[in-house]
Amino acid sequence: MGRLFLFVALLAALVVIVFVLMAIAGRILDAGQNMLRTANGQTKEGHMVPTPFQKITYAALIVLLFGVSTGWLGGL
């Protein structure tokens, strides 16, 4: 019977921990979204949006850095 109570207590503690972590994560996400909003009401057109060329160059940079660090490129 004691094992059953221990299992129920551990399960309840796990549920509480998950609930608290989800609440913290929600507050962090809300704070991040509030920081991204502009004060003067500009829309997305006023923000700097990455173009397809920028996305391709970032992907190429990641591949280049991976290649240099693993020895693919760079001569080692």
- Give the residue numbers spanning the domain of 11: 1-36
For the chain, 76 residues long, the average pLDDT of each consecutive 10-residue run is: 88 94 90 73 58 84 84 64
Question: Total domain count for the chain?
Answer: 2
DSSP structural state of residue 47: S
Q: Are 74 and 68 in contact (CB under 8 A)?
A: yes
> Tokens 């760079």, residue?
74
Q: How many CB atoms lie within 10 A of CB 64?
A: 13
Q: Report residue 50 CA to chain centroid gap.
A: 19
Give CA–CA dist 60/58, Å, rounded: 5
Asked if 56 and 29 sit in the same domain, the reply is: no
Please indicate, yes or no, if residue 20 is contained in any of the structural domains.
yes
Q: pTM score > 0.75 for this model?
A: no
- Whether residue 5 sits in one domain with residue 31: yes
DSSP state of 40: T
| Same domain membership, residue 24 and residue 55 | no
